[in-house]
Amino acid sequence: MDRSQFFYSNGKLLITAEYLVLKGALSLGVPTQYGQSLAVHPNVDKGLTWQAYENDIEWLNFNLSLEEILEANQNLSEEKRFIAELLKQALSMNPDFLNGANFKLETHLNFKRDWGLGSSATLINNIAQWAKVDAFDLLAKVSKASGYDIACAQSNTPILFQKVNNKIWTEECIFLPEFKDQIYFLYLGKKQKSEDEVKRFLAQDRDYSREIQEISSLSLHLLDTESAIDFDKIIGEHEAITSKLLGLPSIKKLAFSDFEGSIKSLGAWGGDFAMLRSDWDKNTLTSYFKSKGLNTLIHWDNMVLEDEADL
């Protein structure tokens, strides 16, 4: 009898409240059609054999002993140490996890790791499912992230997310602009290290109450927007608030000042994806961004995971 187990988690994009979600702002997140699977197979060899694939191309292959998992020491490579630490923390939450058994593990990402769609969060959520532990608690043991990415990994529809005093609140919502055919996601060509950005922002000691209130309000307004003009206005206001907060120019002012439409950074500023809306057709958009060395432009219908009941 085959005792293999299979798990899957959705990737994510944070549409609103980047940075301030860490301080309690209400955010809007969407799960993506991209994600990561985990297959767990019994293995005759001792310990764990780990194979990781990105778009069917192997990029990791190593063995982990129980001793390495329990130590998760600095002598391991960065990727191997992170996985060992995850397994160690899952084991601390559920002592029956692993149970001395030997496994062959395969992870499959159907997107590029550099895209920032949640290669770590989807892995954490998959391991949590396998270990039968709470994914938010497991995340908290290895990261200072808000947890919205775990919420997206577990949802098949857009969500509102808020974390206040370490208590997480989520609610499924409908985010389906009538003009979604004009919305695209642009990869900016640089992977941001989210954990570094999180630590840097959390280290700042100041009162964000006004900005939290403003951004939370914009998150709700974005759900209700009925016109492209209002959508662009909300995006512009959101970018202006965050720009002032970070002391950084918005992505539009920095790199796309002649762009006709709205464009918004998603997640850590300076890399990963941006969301844009424009009256320009696909060919014009593609040519414009190619002229700037950016070749990955994904339409809403090919990125956002939507509940079929809402279509």
Q: Express each pLDDT in 107-163 by its tens digit.
A: 999 999 999 999 999 999 999 999 999 999 999 999 988 999 999 999 999 999 999
The residue with tokens 């079929």 is 308
Q: Which of 172, 196, 229 is the last residue of a domain?
A: 172
pLDDT of residue 210: 97
Q: Is 37 exposed, middle or buried (0-12, 13-18, 19+ CB in 10 A)?
A: middle
Strand blocks (E) in 201-295: 262-265, 273-277
pLDDT of residue 309: 52
Question: 188 and 99 in one domain?
Answer: no
Q: Is 178 helix (H, G, I), strand (E, B) or coil?
A: coil
Domain with residue 191: its CATH number is 3.30.70.890
Q: 3 falls in which pLDDT band (50, 70, 90)?
A: confident
pLDDT of residue 189: 85
Question: 40 and 154 in one domain?
Answer: yes
Residue 31 has pLDDT above 80, yes or no: yes
Q: Which of 115, 145, 172 is the last residue of a domain?
A: 172
Q: Is 192 helix (H, G, I), strand (E, B) or coil?
A: coil
Amino acid at 249: P
- pLDDT per position as a tens digit, 41-71: 998 778 899 999 999 999 999 999 888 888 8
pLDDT of residue 76: 81
Q: 295 falls in which pLDDT band (50, 70, 90)?
A: very high
Q: Positive or negative, the Cα torsion across 285, 289, 290, 291?
A: positive
Q: Cβ–Cβ contacts within 10 Å for residue 293, how many?
A: 7
Region of poorest pLDDT, from 25-29, 201-205, 216-220: 201-205
Q: Which of 112, 145, 172 is the last residue of a domain?
A: 172
Backbone angles phi, psi at 53, to 5 degrees: -120, 140
Tell me 304's DSSP state.
Answer: B
Q: 193 falls in which pLDDT band (50, 70, 90)?
A: low
Query: Which is nearest to 235 in space by CA: 201, 265, 210?
Result: 265
Query: Which is nearest to 153 in space by CA: 11, 310, 306?
Result: 11
Query: Which is nearest to 142 in space by CA: 178, 106, 202, 90?
Result: 90
Question: 230 and 113 in one domain?
Answer: no
Residue 255: give the domain boundaries: 180-310
- Mean pLDDT of the 71-84 span: 84
Residue 301 has pLDDT above 90, yes or no: yes
Q: Are 259 and 276 in contact (CB under 8 A)?
A: yes
From first CA to last CA, the distance across the chain in angstroms is: 40
Question: 222 and 255 in one domain?
Answer: yes
Domain with residue 120: its CATH number is 3.30.230.10
Question: 258 and 138 in one domain?
Answer: no
Q: 227 falls in which pLDDT band (50, 70, 90)?
A: very high
Question: 126 and 47 in one domain?
Answer: yes
pLDDT of residue 311: 47
pLDDT of residue 290: 97
Question: 106 and 129 in one domain?
Answer: yes
Question: 201 and 130 in one domain?
Answer: no
Q: Average pLDDT, whole number, for the chain?
A: 92
Question: 162 and 24 in one domain?
Answer: yes
Question: Edge to edge, what strands does the sheet with 262-265 contain?
Answer: 262-265, 273-277, 183-187, 297-299
Residue 310 has pLDDT above 60, yes or no: no
Q: Is 293 helix (H, G, I), strand (E, B) or coil?
A: coil
Please tell me the pTM assigned to this model.
0.94
Question: 27 and 106 in one domain?
Answer: yes
Question: 43 and 21 in one domain?
Answer: yes
Question: 136 and 213 in one domain?
Answer: no
Indicate the number of domains in the chain: 2
What is the Cα–Cα distance from 111 to 62, expressed in whole angstroms?
A: 21
Backbone angles phi, psi at 57, to 5 degrees: -105, 125
Backbone angles phi, psi at 153, to 5 degrees: -60, -30
Residue 192 has pLDDT above 90, yes or no: no
